[in-house]
C-alpha cells in the first residue's frame, strides 16, 4: 500500500477532526481538533482524539496541515505537539489562532504560514491550501498530491456568493482539480440533510441592524469569538446607530485583537471602549459584544443570565442578540440561558426566532455542486454525526461517484492503484479526556463511577476492629452524600447490619478485603430494601 488516510476523529461526531495521510510510510496530519464534553462526561473539560498510534510512530510523522482556526480543528494541537513536535502549516490567521493555545501550554512549536494556492513540499508530501468561505477568516481546503493521485480535503465550507471579506470558495480551483482528476475526496457533511443553499453571511447584516436600531436600551450581542465577519456586521450596525462598542470575554478580546492586527476586522478605535467606561454611557449608546452563545456556564452571557456578571446587570429595556444556533449537544444549556435572560426582563433575539444567524457549512445543493465540480473517483464524507455522513454519501452516489464509503473513527481508506479498500478499526480512536490538567487519566470506567455517584450518591462506612480478634472497637460510623435529605433512620439500620455482619465474620485476624466486601453487601441490602437505591458504598476498615 502506498497511500492511506486514517481517521482519528470527526466521523460520527461534531468535533475532534483529525485525519492522518500516509505516503510511503510517512504521515501528515490534517487538523487536530477537540470536542466539547457531552452531558454524561461528568467533570471532563475537553475531549481529544486518541493519537497513541501516532506517538508509537512519532519518527514517521512529518507535519500537521490546518484547514482553519476553529477549535474543533485546532483545539487539541498544542497537546499533540507536546507529544509529537512537528512543523505546522496553515494560513496566517489560522496559525495565529492556533498559536494562542500553543503558547498557553508552553509548547515550543514551529508554525509555518502558507500562502493560499501555492504548492508546498515537505518530505514526501506536496500540498496546497485553497480558499473556501466559512465562518472564520482564512479557511481553506487541502489538496495533496500523492503517488495515487490527488487527495482533497474540503475543510469546512459553504458556497457563499457574497462573503463579507470578498473571498468566496474558489470554485475555479476546484474545477481545475476536478478536470485533472481527484483520486479521493473528503468533504464537510454537517448540513448534508438540509435542502437548498445556505444563505450568504451578508444576508444577516440587515436583520441584525434592524434589531439594534429598534432597541431602545442597551444591546448585548453574543456570537462565536472566531466569527470575525459576524462581529464586523454587529459592530457596524451598532456604530451606525450611534452606539459605542465594548468587547468582553477572553477569547473575544484575543480574537478581535488579532483580527484587527491582521486587517480582518475593521472597527474604528474611537468607537471602542472598555466595558467599565461603556457602562457610564446612556443605555441607548451601549453595544456589548460578548462570548457565551453556546450556553457555556462561565461565559459572560451565562453570568449575566444568573445576575452574576461583574459589570452588567440586565433589566427591562435591554436587548440580548444571540447571533448563533446551538451546536448539537448544547441545546439544553442555551435554552436555559435564554429563559433566564427573559426572566430578568431582557428581550432576547436569537437564531431560532429571527434571521440573525446563518451556518458556515454547505447545504445539500451546495454539496451537489461541489461534487459535480470535483468528480472524485472515491469519496468519504467527513465532519458530522453518522446521519450527516450517510446523507452526504447518498448525494455522492446520486452524482455517480464510483466508490463511496461511510467510515467511522479508527477506520482507514487505502488507495492502491485502481483499488480503493477500507480497513475497519485500523487504529484506536476512542475519546481521550482532558480532566483538569491531566490528559488520558480518565477512562470510561471513571465516568461510569461519576455518573453512578451523581445518580445514587455515596455512603462511607468506617469501622475499627481489633487487630487480633476482629471484634468491633469503633463504629460503625456511616456518612452519606447525595443519598437522601434525612438518611438518619436508614443509616442507623445499616449500622446495625454492619455490626451483625462483622460479628459473624470475626474469627481471629480477618482478611481486610473480605471484610470490606461483607460490609459493602450488608449496607447495600439495607439501603436497597429501604430506599430502592444503589449508592456507591465505600467501606473503611481500620485495624486497632
Q: What is the pTM of this model?
A: 0.83
The torsion angle over the Cα atoms of residues 511, 517, 522 and 528, rounded to 10 degrees, is 180
Annotated catalytic, 361? Answer: yes
Q: Phi and psi for 367 in degrees, rounded to 5? A: -65, -40
| Residue 184 β-bridge partners | 151, 378
**Conformational region of residue 496, where left means phi above 0, alpha means psi within -120 to 50, and beta covers everything else:** alpha
* C-alpha to C-alpha distances, 207 to 107, 347, 360, nearest whole angstrom: 43, 15, 17
pLDDT at 329: 74
Q: Of 112, 21, 10, 114, which Cα lies nearest the Cα of 62?
A: 21
Query: Can you give the length of the chain in residues?
Result: 544
User: What is the distance, to the nearest Å, from the Cα of residue 172 to the centroid of all Cα atoms in its chain?
Assistant: 32
382 close to 186: Cβ distance less than 8 angstroms: yes
Q: Which three cell numbers stand for residue 539?
A: 467501606
Max CA distance (Å), the chain: 87
Q: Which three cell numbers stand for residue 466?
A: 481489633
**DSSP annotation string for 364-400:** HHHHHHHHHHH--SEEEEESB-HHHHHHHHHHHHHTT
**Distance (Å, whole) CA 107 – CA 98:** 12
**Distance (Å, whole) CA 270 – CA 98:** 29
159 close to 374: Cβ distance less than 8 angstroms: no
97 close to 255: Cβ distance less than 8 angstroms: yes
Three-state DSSP class for residue 133: strand
Radius of gyration of the chain measured on its C-alpha atoms? 28
268 close to 239: Cβ distance less than 8 angstroms: yes
Q: Which three cell numbers stand for residue 351?
A: 437564531
Tell me, letter by letter, the H, E, C secondary structure of 318-346.
CEEEECCCCCCCCHHHHHHHHHHHHHCCC
pLDDT at 489: 83
Tell me which of 361, 383, 388, 403 is the catalytic residue. 361
Angle between helices 386-398 and 364-374 (to 10 degrees): 50
Q: Which residues of the chain have pLDDT under 70?
A: 1, 38-45, 434-456, 468, 470, 505-510, 544
Q: Which three cell numbers stand for residue 540?
A: 473503611
Helices and strands in the chain, H and E counts: 16, 26
* C-alpha to C-alpha distances, 179 to 184, 373, 376, 378, nearest whole angstrom: 14, 8, 10, 15
Q: Of 314, 93, 324, 119, which Cα lies nearest the Cα of 224?
A: 324
Q: Phi and psi for 333 in degrees, rounded to 5? A: -65, -45
Query: Which tens digits make up the pLDDT trace of 67-100?
Result: 999 999 999 999 999 999 999 999 999 999 999 9
CB atoms under 10 Å from CB of 7, counted, come to 27
Annotated catalytic, 253? Answer: no
Query: Which tens digits make up the pLDDT trace of 304-357?
Result: 999 988 889 998 999 999 999 888 778 888 999 999 999 999 999 999 899 999
**What's the angle, vertex CA 142, arms to CA 138 and CA 143, rounded to 5?**
140
**Distance (Å, whole) CA 355 – CA 222:** 15
Whether the link from the prior residue into 476 is cis, omega within 30° of 0, is yes
527 close to 485: Cβ distance less than 8 angstroms: no
Q: Of 160, 251, 249, which Cα lies nearest the Cα of 202?
A: 160
**Distance (Å, whole) CA 537 – CA 451:** 14
Tell me which of 188, 409, 411, 435 is the catalytic residue. 188
Q: Which three cell numbers stand for residue 75?
A: 483545539
Domains, the chain = 3-196+359-439 (3.60.15.10), 201-350 (3.40.50.10710), 457-543 (3.10.20.580)
Three-state DSSP class for residue 45: coil
Q: Are strands 286-290 and 319-322 parallel, antiparallel or unpaired?
A: unpaired
pLDDT at 24: 93
Amino acid at each position: 500500500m502506498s497511500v492511506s488516510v486514517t481517521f482519528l476523529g470527526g466521523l460520527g461526531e461534531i468535533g475532534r477532526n483529525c485525519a492522518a495521510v500516509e505516503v510511503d510510510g510517512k504521515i501528515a496530519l490534517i487538523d487536530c481538533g477537540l470536542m466539547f464534553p457531552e452531558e454524561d462526561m461528568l467533570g471532563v473539560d475537553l475531549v481529544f482524539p486518541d493519537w497513541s498510534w501516532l506517538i508509537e510512530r512519532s519518527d514517521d510523522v512529518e507535519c500537521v496541515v490546518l484547514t482553519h482556526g476553529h477549535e474543533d480543528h485546532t483545539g487539541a494541537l498544542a497537546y499533540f505537539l507536546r507529544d509529537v513536535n512537528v512543523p505546522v502549516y496553515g494560513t496566517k490567521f489560522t496559525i495565529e489562532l492556533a498559536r494562542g493555545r500553543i503558547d498557553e501550554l508552553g509548547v515550543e512549536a514551529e508554525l509555518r504560514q502558507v500562502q493560499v494556492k501555492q504548492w508546498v513540499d515537505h518530505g514526501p508530501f506536496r500540498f496546497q491550501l485553497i480558499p473556501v468561505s466559512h465562518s472564520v477568516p482564512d479557511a481553506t481546503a487541502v489538496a495533496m498530491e500523492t503517488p495515487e493521485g490527488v487527495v482533497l480535503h474540503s475543510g469546512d465550507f459553504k458556497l457563499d456568493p457574497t462573503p463579507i471579506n470578498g473571498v468566496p470558495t474558489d470554485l475555479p480551483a476546484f474545477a481545475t482539480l476536478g478536470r485533472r482528476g481527484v483520486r479521493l475526496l473528503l468533504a464537510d457533511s454537517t448540513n448534508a440533510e438540509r435542502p437548498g443553499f445556505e444563505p450568504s453571511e451578508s444576508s444577516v447584516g440587515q436583520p441584525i441592524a434592524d434589531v439594534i436600531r429598534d432597541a431602545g436600551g442597551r444591546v448585548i450581542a453574543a456570537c462565536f469569538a472566531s466569527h470575525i465577519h459576524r462581529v464586523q456586521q454587529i459592530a457596524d450596525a451598532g456604530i451606525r446607530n450611534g452606539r459605542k462598542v465594548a468587547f468582553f470575554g477572553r477569547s473575544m478580546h484575543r480574537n478581535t485583537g488579532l483580527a484587527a492586527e491582521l486587517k480582518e476586522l475593521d472597527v474604528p478605535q474611537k468607537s471602542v471602549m472598555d466595558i467599565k467606561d461603556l457602562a457610564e454611557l446612556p443605555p441607548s449608546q451601549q453595544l456589548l459584544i460578548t462570548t457565551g452563545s453556546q450556553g457555556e456556564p462561565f461565559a459572560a452571557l451565562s453570568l449575566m443570565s444568573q445576575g452574576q456578571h461583574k459589570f452588567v446587570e440586565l433589566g427591562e429595556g435591554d436587548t440580548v442578540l444571540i447571533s448563533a444556533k446551538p451546536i448539537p449537544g448544547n441545546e439544553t444549556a442555551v435554552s436555559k440561558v435564554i429563559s433566564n435572560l427573559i426572566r430578568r426582563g431582557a428581550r432576547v433575539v436569537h437564531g431560532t426566532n429571527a434571521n440573525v444567524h446563518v451556518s458556515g457549512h454547505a447545504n445539500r445543493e451546495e454539496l451537489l455542486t461541489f461534487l459535480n465540480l470535483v468528480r472524485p473517483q472515491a469519496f468519504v464524507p467527513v465532519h458530522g454525526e453518522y446521519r450527516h455522513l450517510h446523507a452526504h454519501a447518498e448525494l455522492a452516489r446520486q452524482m455517480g461517484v464510483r466508490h463511496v464509503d461511510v467510515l467511522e473513527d479508527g477506520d482507514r481508506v487505502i488507495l492502491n492503484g485502481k483499488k480503493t479498500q477500507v480497513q475497519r478499526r485500523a487504529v484506536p480512536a476512542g475519546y481521550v479526556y482532558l480532566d483538569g490538567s491531566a490528559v488520558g487519566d480518565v477512562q470510561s470506567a471513571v465516568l461510569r463511577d461519576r455518573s453512578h455517584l451523581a445518580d445514587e450518591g455515596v455512603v462511607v462506612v468506617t469501622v475499627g476492629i481489633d487487630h487480633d480478634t476482629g471484634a468491633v472497637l469503633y463504629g460503625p460510623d456511616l456518612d452519606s452524600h447525595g443519598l437522601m435529605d434525612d438518611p438518619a433512620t436508614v443509616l442507623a439500620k445499616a449500622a446495625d447490619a454492619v455490626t451483625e455482619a462483622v460479628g459473624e465474620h470475626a474469627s481471629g485476624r480477618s482478611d481486610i478485603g473480605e471484610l470490606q466486601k461483607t460490609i459493602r453487601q450488608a449496607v447495600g441490602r439495607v439501603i436497597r430494601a429501604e430506599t430502592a437505591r444503589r449508592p456507591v458504598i465505600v467501606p473503611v476498615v481500620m485495624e486497632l
